[in-house]
Amino acid sequence: MMDRAIILASGPSLVQEDITMAISSGWPVIAVNSTWQAAPECDVIYAGDLEWWDYWHARIDSAAELWTCSAQAASRYCLKLHVATGVYNSGMRAVQFAHQQGARRIILLGFDCSTRHGTHWHGDHPAGLRNPGDGSEARWLGHFTGLGNQLAGADIINCSRYSMLTLFRRLPLAQALKEDAWTL
């Protein structure tokens, strides 16, 4: 169980300075998809897509817990299964996962929900893995809008340097971490 979490998604706004601050904060850190490469010290690697696990599982050299919402990936690679249903993107599922693990304060980084500045902080995924395309922005925003009351009681703070996701309050990362210290 975690009472708070920082989730590092793979939007192009994610920078090493924010990753370093997240890791050094003492908060549990969840890296979404390939972001584990920039934050191998993370506590959890979360990816929802079987194809991503097919490509990356043998390449992961992090001691992080490995979680997925794909029953097939969990079975194939002995991953921990986060039971969730409905349409999703891995970042949105990671938010659900953190909340279901008990996090009531969740900081988001790299949640651009846009391709205006590129596809990911790491560029496109390797061949054979899906990259954002036409309609991705509307689909991502729809996934978050669909969360509805599932996140009741959670304080979610979007600290992404750039983001089209407006459902959650926005703060710079340092301010969000300082605010948390005031409430302890």
pLDDT of residue 139 exceeding 50, the answer is yes
pTM of the model: 0.90
**By C-alpha distance, which of 48, 26, 41, 34 is closest to 140?**
48
3-class secondary structure, 181? helix
What would the pLDDT profile of 157-166 be if each residue is shown by its tens digit?
A: 999 998 778 8
Q: In this structure, what CATH number is given to the domain that contains residue 79? A: 3.40.50
d(CA 129, CA 105) in angstroms, rounded, equals: 32
Q: Output the pLDDT for position 184.
A: 43
The continuous run of DSSP H or E covering 157 comes out as: strand 155-158
Alpha-carbon separation of residue 134 from 128, 140, 170 (angstroms): 18, 12, 26
List pLDDT tens digits, range 10-57.
Answer: 889 999 999 999 999 999 999 999 999 999 999 999 999 999 999 999
The answer to whether the CB of 129 falls within 8 A of the CB of 78 is no
- Domain containing 20 equals 4-183
Considering its fold, how many domains does the chain have in total? 1
Residue at 73: amino acid letter: A
Give pLDDT, residue 135.
Answer: 64
Per-residue tokens: 158:
């979007």
